[in-house]
Amino acid sequence: MRISDRLLMGPGPSNPYPEVTMALGRPILGHLDPRFLELLDETNDRLRQLFGTSNRLTLPVSGTGSAGMEASFVNFVRPGDTVVVGVNGLFGERMCDVAVRHGAKVVRVDAEWGKPIEPARLLEAHPHPALIAVVHAETSTGVRNEIAPLGEGKADALLLVDMVTSLGGIDVAVDRWSVDIAYSGTQKCLGVPPGLAPLTVSARALGRRVERPSSWYLDLGLLAGYVNDTAGRGRVYHHTAPVAMVAALHAGLGALIEEGLDQARARHASCGTLLQEGLAELGLELLVSAEQHRLPQLTTVLVPAGVDDAAVRRELLSTYDIEIGAGAGRLAGKVWRIGCMGHTARRRNVLALLAALGEVLGR
Amino acid sequence: MRISDRLLMGPGPSNPYPEVTMALGRPILGHLDPRFLELLDETNDRLRQLFGTSNRLTLPVSGTGSAGMEASFVNFVRPGDTVVVGVNGLFGERMCDVAVRHGAKVVRVDAEWGKPIEPARLLEAHPHPALIAVVHAETSTGVRNEIAPLGEGKADALLLVDMVTSLGGIDVAVDRWSVDIAYSGTQKCLGVPPGLAPLTVSARALGRRVERPSSWYLDLGLLAGYVNDTAGRGRVYHHTAPVAMVAALHAGLGALIEEGLDQARARHASCGTLLQEGLAELGLELLVSAEQHRLPQLTTVLVPAGVDDAAVRRELLSTYDIEIGAGAGRLAGKVWRIGCMGHTARRRNVLALLAALGEVLGR
């Protein structure tokens, strides 16, 4: 099979950092090898820096971002618990589905797809929910939801935030915002292939975790025994850690930290601005009208009337080796999603995409 | 960090095939890219060859082998179902834990760790269980359990088999043995890093699957829509597939199939014999006394009296860069587990291990 060298500008995966690809080419280590455990510890330290937290329980869950979502609900929701979920896109919808499967009574707070959710509405939705859950950066719409006021106003509730598309790309501050549970994915702004879900849990949340959740694989009590030596007698084997992917994550986080987290965020911001201005110059309309609610790393643009959505994406892929994303959920066929995340977030790539899209659209 | 080049002769991971490492170093593809979907289809075809099945629903689950175990229970067990589980090692124990979490009434059939479970005992344990579950190759003991008679005698029950350590190393015949659900792991005899759980499900089992299992991430109805286009309108996005690991699995299966599955099994068999004879020559005793119940790919050997278990393993690791495994569960401290799986299953490696172990033990 011929090797394709795609420029990945969809909603993820993004192109991995070269350091990540090199890490994947290294000999692997056993999951109980002291050198691997050292690498895992360092990976978790790096994740703490990215999340802005000192949470002891911070680890890559052995599944994709959605496994992080599931781990967040299965370990903290008991049947009958009231869970307030903000829904202004596909991933908010998904949270509702996952929460209901674990027996939660879900109180939905909907907002238009393309508009943010007002924090006050989430805080006023129920007098004493067990949990308030919201998506920080909605990958289906390109909207940024505000988190800080939720931490201030959550009272006794736990605050759960999906940071799949935000971590590494825009400001994230788990401790400062009083977030109790946050998860992410590796294939967005971290510049690592998909396969792991970074997760962090506050001590406050840990004190309320479900003792024996329905999922053995995602049981945080068991996972903590492997990542943190909670029993004080060495690590306890749970499942075989995906060592190659952990090495890749370690390398990706290393690249970001070496660049500087502020610099990396500024790079995402300037690429986002360049892209969004360029799309406007092509005469295209963005879904998210208010600039302050847009994500730099994920831009949704309306498919112009009379243009064949799929044909444009196919042409970009076949002629230019550039991938952009289709609309998802109720936006299917109506928007394109253009990602500018991780290693992909480079001025050169944005210019290439804009020029190619201009050619395909004949503008 | 200095790069360690370990010879991985523990219970997994094994050393990846060179083709696998090369595949991990390639540019990645998006999870909806036509070229990736082609690669995924081909991977699933290759898995069918390995499993010996024509099951349409055959796929790599996006988690390690244990996620395969969990997917097998969460999709097929309803609260109150009777599940017969064979237990002659740690992974049989784990099956009981997972089954109970999903509401099953578990009927345990125990056998001594190091001895196989007689199929008749599993078939007679309950008059009409919903499911009979057993581990084909017990990684904690090195015992091979017989599967074929279970398929013949299962009557109305579904037959679920853990093939984590057997697939690719010894004969496996899902269709011929009438196995309904089987899962595996990539990091054993397939010679791929850990991170995926190959899974195959018969049409008979599919007809009885739980409509909306508690796990969204492992919901086979949703997974099937992505891998198989079940709705006939193209693939439906579920979660972002771990594209790099799927490419690695594709390459590992390719290497095995190119070698020939019979040849690969013969290679595992001859390495196992060489290892087990060599250990006997060193004066060491194997846990599994009957030769016909031993696995060639995973050998448990008793730690001799007066020998420091951990010190020997440390010395092998630090001086020789060879990893062997400790005992697990009730065999902790009592045995070493020596794997000879996937790319590691080479005469050269067995000779190196035997010579090194001889030096460390002073024999």
Segment B117-152, tens digit of pLDDT: 999 999 999 999 999 999 999 999 999 999 999 999
Closest partner residue to A25 among B21, B64, B66, by Cβ?
B21
Report CA Rg, chain B: 20
Question: Does the predicted model carry a pTM greater than 0.90?
Answer: yes
Band (pLDDT 50/70/90 cuts) for residue B2 is confident
CA distance B99 to B83: 8
Across the strands, what pairs with A309?
A: none
pLDDT per position as a tens digit, A269-308:
999 999 999 999 999 999 999 999 999 999 999 999 999 9
Of chain B, the percentage scoring pLDDT greater than 70 comes to 100
Q: Which residue has the tokens 């690590």?
A: A235
Residue A219: is its pLDDT beyond 80?
yes
Q: Which residue has the tokens 């989430």?
A: A122
Look at residues B132, B136, B151 and name the one whose alpha carbon lies nearest to residue B76.
Answer: B132
Q: Does the distance separating the beta carbons of B317 and A4 come in below 8 Å?
A: no
Q: Does the distance separating the beta carbons of A65 and B31 come in below 8 Å?
A: no
pLDDT per position as a tens digit, A204-218:
999 999 999 999 999
Sign of CA dihedral B198, B93, A41, A39: negative
- Domain B18-258 in the same topology as domain B7-13+261-361: no
Q: Which positions 238-297 of B are in contact with A (Cβ < 8 Å)?
A: 238-245, 248
The alpha-carbon gap from B291 to the nearest alpha carbon of chain A, in Å, equals 28
Determine the CATH number of domain A7-13+260-361: 3.90.1150.10
Closest partner residue to B26 among A3, A13, A97, by Cβ?
A3
The single-letter code of the amino acid at B128 is H
> Contacts of residue B349 in chain A, CB cutoff 8 Å?
none
> Contacts of residue A62 in chain B, CB cutoff 8 Å?
63-64, 67, 195
Please state the domain extents for chain A.
7-13+260-361, 18-258
Q: Average of pLDDT values for A14-25? A: 98
> Contacts of residue B212 in chain A, CB cutoff 8 Å?
101
Q: Average of pLDDT values for B232-252? A: 93
Q: Does the distance separating the beta carbons of B35 and A214 come in below 8 Å?
A: no
CA distance B173 to B147: 9
- Report CA dihedral (A113, A117, A121, A125) to the nearest 10 degrees: 60
Q: Average of pLDDT values for A248-277? A: 98
- Please report which helix (H) or strand (E) contains residue B51, including its range: helix B34-51
Residue A243: is its pLDDT beyond 70?
yes
Residues 6+ away with beta carbon under 8 Å from B144: B116, B136, B137, B138, B166, B170, B293, B294, B295
CA distance B107 to B117: 14
Determine the CATH number of domain B18-258: 3.40.640.10
Residues 6+ away with beta carbon under 8 Å from A39: A29, A246, A247, A250, B1
pLDDT per position as a tens digit, A306-345:
999 999 999 999 999 999 999 999 999 999 999 999 999 9
Per-residue tokens: A70: 């599931």
Residue B229's pLDDT is: 80
Closest partner residue to A28 among B63, B70, B193, by Cβ?
B193
pLDDT per position as a tens digit, B303-333:
999 999 999 999 999 999 999 999 999 999 9
- Please report which helix (H) or strand (E) contains residue A48, including its range: helix A34-51
The single-letter code of the amino acid at B349 is N
Q: Is residue A301 helix, strand or coil?
A: strand
Q: Average of pLDDT values for B155-181? A: 98
Q: Average of pLDDT values for A231-237? A: 82
Pairing between β-strand B181-183 and β-strand B197-201 as defined by DSSP bridges: antiparallel
Question: Selecting from 3.40.190.10, 3.90.1150.10, 3.40.50.1100, 3.40.50.300, what CATH number does the domain B7-13+261-361 have?
Answer: 3.90.1150.10
Across the strands, what pairs with A182?
A: A161, A200
Say how many C-beta atoms besides its own lie within 10 A of residue B159's C-beta.
25
CA distance B75 to B284: 43
Residue A229's pLDDT is: 79
Task: Give the DSSP letter string of A209-240.
Answer: --SS-S-STT-HHHHHHHHS-TTSSS----S-
Of chain A, the percentage scoring pLDDT greater than 90 comes to 96
Look at residues B13, B5, B4 and name the one whose alpha carbon lies nearest to residue B342.
Answer: B13
Closest partner residue to B216 among A32, A98, A193, by Cβ?
A98
Residue A230's pLDDT is: 80
Per-residue tokens: B15: 């050393």
Residue A1's pLDDT is: 67
User: Which comes out higher in pLDDT, residue B173 or A235?
Assistant: B173
Residue B298: is its pLDDT beyond 70?
yes
The single-letter code of the amino acid at B53 is T
Residue B233's pLDDT is: 76
Q: Average of pLDDT values for A40-52? A: 98
Q: Does the distance separating the beta carbons of B4 and A67 come in below 8 Å?
A: no
